[in-house]
Structure 1
Amino acid sequence: MRVQNLNRFSEVKLSSLVKSCYYIGMRSFTTLPTLIFLLANPVSAQDHPESSNDLSEELEYQLHGADSLVSSWVDSEIIPGAVLLVSKSGETLLHKAYGWSQLFSYGEGQYKDNSPTPNSLQKLDVPIPMLTNTRFDLASVTKVMATTFAVMLLVDQGLLDLDVPIFTYLEDFRGKEKDHITARHLLTHRSGLQQWQPIYYQASNPQESYEVIRNLPLEWKVGEGYHYSDLGFMLLGMIVQEVTGDRLDNYLADQLYSPLGLTSTGFIPKPLENKGEQGVEFASTSHGNPYEHRMVHDLDFGYTYKRDPNQWNDWRLYTLTGEVNDGNSYHAFSGVAGHAGLFSNAEDLNRLLNLLNHNGAYGRKRYLDVGTVEMFWHSHKRPLGWQKSQISNTVIFSHSGFTGTFVASAPVERLSIVLLTNRQNKGLTGNGRYAELAALEQELLQTLTSDLRLPREYN
């Protein structure tokens, strides 16, 4: 960020500006970067109707609103804890931890009779505090922060064609309708594949999992409508391995995460035999997999499993900490899958978002061609891998994860938002579901995108 002529601030009292920034810092906003942001982006009356002091007040108001919003959800115990990070043009404006990384332990569990009761869990006498560098199980945020990135890299290198049948790479993935499925269909959830199945009922490793998916009938015609599918991203992870000869986690570590300096991002963050171990490094998630158990056993829950639900019974009976929540990723893919399994913290995720916001470059290095980023985000009505929405004139690309994670980017404004929660640690409610976070995510976006455009001279 370049520092412009400070004479433009002749009408602003510097002491007042510093006082305002200090107030932001006292609310856990990053004081120095915020001060630099305000000093480096002066606004003349000719260029913008607000004064530079108004800009600082607007930022303070919006960041305070975001802070208060997340605090209210934690204080009301809807979620045990959270980490929020907001950055603009690469400068972190807010990075704060709330509540607890673990508030409940397994107790009696929540598998009973498909009618879980919250009080069957054990509330910790001494909860574990959430930290700003706490690592989270990202669940389906894996789809964009791992698998989609890997596909982008391969497209960028000319190693993967999104519009040829996927049997080009997975040679025995054939069938009258399946022959028409492309990687683009998988990325946009239009492949016709089933949305979810407990693959672990029939498979215990990636090869067996592939065979199960390959033999499943399609649920819809290829290209017929949007049907969000975990299975499609499982296949994308396998395609990455077939093309590169390297497993998804190793490929990303070598080609993206390590070069970017990400120290808290990766799959299988600790040996799987350390089951239920408590520690401040990871946010605890669910207490076993009672939600998936109900998906299979309760026909009225909204999912269909046509086989015997009792043919498999290796359910985890402990609180998950540093171990992937998703049953298919854990049991069928050993923790490394294209749909789920990635762990990270807010700072690393913010760096990945900033790379996309800056059209594939970070620091002085280019990781993706500008055209590749354009292709995945802007060349189609529906972006590739991501979900697209709009608030007023702000276009937002985002993705959420079942564990309570959320990432969002407004590339024109170069705004990045990372919200990580451990909603599952509070357990299932009486209706057998976890706390719904869509309202929190939407209000957070509205709070932070009302008017955060850069002054004209900065662009």
Structure 2
Amino acid sequence: MSSARNWAVGAAAALQDALAPLVSAGRVPGGVITAGTVGGPRVTAACGTVGAECGPAAPDEHTRYDLASLTKVVATWPLIGRAVREGLLDLDTPLRVIRPELPPPGVDLTVRQLLTHTSGLFDRTHFDRYLGDPTPLARLICAEPLISEPGRQHRYIDRGFILLGLLLATLRGRRLDLLADELWRELGMTETSYSPLARSPQVAPTEARLVGAPRVWGTVHDPSAALMGGIAGHAGAFSTAADLAVFAEHALVSPWLAESMRSAVPIEPGRRRGLAWIVADTGPDAGPVAYHHGFTGTSIHLDPRTGRYLVLLTNAVYHGRDSALLVPLRALALTTLATLTDPA
């Protein structure tokens, strides 16, 4: 067995073993882990079920999960990279160059500031307060007062990626979901799309927001993306472990990922925000890795030095919103990715 396959087998097993107790305790219905190397072996492990609504169906590499904020890196980030590569965008050009009708202060923000979460935009999405207002959403977002000076402070903000999604639609003259579909099909990602999806055992349900209410299933969990019809730059995409492995292999050899990891602002010691991705130092004998999480219980980790990747898909919000639930599992994924020897 090759060292690459040894690593993939051990990595998938380690994460499966860490996920299993959460499933046994009834805290997560189930999940899927895929570990692989660019051009090399790919190993998938799973445990639990898709959800009670799906009967005994077990998740596999073709089960579709709501990606939540992984949409930022799977849809918006590569589409921005393509626009930059084609000369349609410059990272440091203010939005006013493309959307001069937008109001201040948001019209003076740059694409780079939006990608790195340093825009200073209002940090609560809360689109419900815009209900009934006929003003276009991009204008409403840009008109809000900034809460910090642009480019100076990292603060995770969905509104920036929502603006980027709206910007892409204007730039290309097509809806964001159509642009993303075209990109995904070019990459060979045939199981990735925006919602809605038909309810089936191959689509993982998420949360029942109110007691007695139907569970969110096949439609986007994120409330702001739901208000936007399920199509947004920050959330709304659904995908499978198989498709995200394909995405990871393309991303790992992309100059856009290398540029995105170089252009970074500090978050905390050992972690910084690149263009969309978090960049983490994992030790003196390993290079920096890139990763991103989604609120529903999804993650993707990339190590350009070794060509390794890890995909973790769960519907962890099924039983409620516990933001700390997957912290140990995600930390294990990060260390496992950077382990130079077999993790098993």
**TM-score, length of structure 2 as denominator length:** 0.88
Residue 282 (structure 1) aligned to one of 194, 203, 214: 203
| 1:377 match | 261
1:140-183 per-residue CA deviation (whole Å, 9 max, x = no partner) reads 000111001110000011111111111112222232x4353101
Q: Deviations over 1:212-238 (max 9, x none)?
A: 213321111212200111111100001
1:51 maps to none
Residue in structure 1 matched with residue 326 of structure 2 by the alignment? 437
In the alignment, does 2:192 pair up with 1:261?
no
Range moving further from structure 2, 416-425 or 203-212: 203-212
Report the equivalent of 1:387: 278
Which one of the candidate residues 399, 414, 420 is aligned to 2:307?
Answer: 414
Identify if the C-alpha distance between structure 1 residues 58 and 417 changes in structure 2 by more than 3 Å, giving closer, same or farther: closer
Counterpart code for 1:199: F
The question of whether the paired residues in 1 share the 8 Å contact of 2:225 and 2:236 is answered with yes
Matched with 1:364 is none
Cα distance, 1:58 vs structure 2: 6.2
Identify the residue that residue 94 of structure 1 maps to in structure 2. 43
Match of 2:336 among 447, 454, 457: 447
Pick from 319, 322, 328 the counterpart of residue 224 of structure 2.
Answer: 328
Shift of 1:207: 6.3
Equivalent-residue separation in structure 2 for 1:56 and 1:329 (angstroms): 38
- Kindly state the Cα deviation for residue 127 of structure 1 after the two structures are TM-superposed: 4.7
Q: Distance in 1 between matches of 2:75 and 2:47?
A: 26
Q: What is the deviation of 1:60?
A: 5.0
TM-score by length of 1: 0.67
Change (3 A) 1:206 1:240: farther
Q: 1:394 is paired with a residue of what secondary structure? A: coil
Q: Alpha-carbon deviation of 1:97?
A: 2.1
Whether the 8 Å contact between 2:9 and 2:35 is mirrored in structure 1 is no
Cα-Cα RMSD: 2.5
Matched-pair contact (CA < 8 Å) for 1:79–1:435: no
Instruction: State the 1:102 CA deviation.
Output: 0.9
1:247 counterpart residue number: 175
Q: Distance in 1 between matches of 2:8 and 2:138?
A: 49
Determine the structure 2 residue equivalent to 1:158: 87
Residues 346 and 420, structure 1, Cα contact 8 Å, conserved in 2: yes
SS at match of 2:159: helix
Q: Which whole-Å CA distance do the structure 1 matches of 2:235 and 2:258 have between them?
A: 25
Amino acid at match of 2:23: V
Q: Distance in 1 between matches of 2:165 and 2:309?
A: 26
CA 1:205/1:328 → structure 2, altered by over 3 Å: closer, same or farther?
Answer: farther
Looking at structure 1, the residues matched to 306 and 64 of structure 2 have their Cα atoms a distance apart, in angstroms, of 27
Change (3 A) 1:407 1:62: closer
Alpha-carbon distance between aligned partners in 2 of 1:192 and 1:287, rounded to the nearest angstrom: 33
Alignment match, 1:352: 247
Equivalent residue for 2:111?
183
CA shift, 1:56, in A, is: 6.9
Shift of 1:130: 2.0
Q: Could you tell me how far apart the structure 1 residues matched to 2:172 and 2:328 are? A: 40
Q: Provide the rounded CA distance (Å) in 1 between the counterparts of 2:294 and 2:132.
A: 23
Gaps spanning 5+ residues in structure 2: where?
Answer: 266-272
Once the two structures are superposed, the pairs formed by residues 6-45 of structure 1 within 5 Å of their partners are: 35=1, 38=2
Question: 2:214 matched to which residue of 1?
Answer: 318
In 1, Cα distance between equivalents of 2:232 and 2:103:
21
Higher mean C-alpha deviation, range 320-329 or range 163-172: 163-172
Per the alignment, residue 74 of structure 1 pairs with 23
TM-aligned CA distance change 1:401 to 1:205, over 3 Å: farther
Stretches of 4+ moved more than 3 A in 1? Answer: 55-64, 177-180, 203-208, 379-382
- 1:168-247 paired onto structure 2 within 5 Å: 168-175=97-104, 177-203=105-131, 208-247=136-175
Distance (whole Å) between structure 2 residues aligned to residue 402 and residue 223 of structure 1: 25
Shift of 1:186: 0.2
Report the CA distance between 1:62 and its aligned residue: 4.3
Aligned residues: 333
The alpha-carbon distance between structure 1 residues 150 and 203, as it changes in their structure 2 partners (threshold 3 A), is farther
- Unpaired runs of at least 5, structure 1: 1-34, 42-54, 106-123, 291-315, 360-369, 454-459
> What SS does the corresponding residue of 1:94 show, helix, strand or coil?
strand
Structure with bigger gyration radius: 1
- What residue identity is the alignment partner of 1:138? L
CA contact (8 A) 2:5 2:41 kept: no
What is the rounded CA distance, in whole Å, between the counterparts of 2:188 and 2:97 in structure 1? 34
Label 1:242 to 1:207 Cα distance change in 2 as closer, same or farther (>3 A): farther
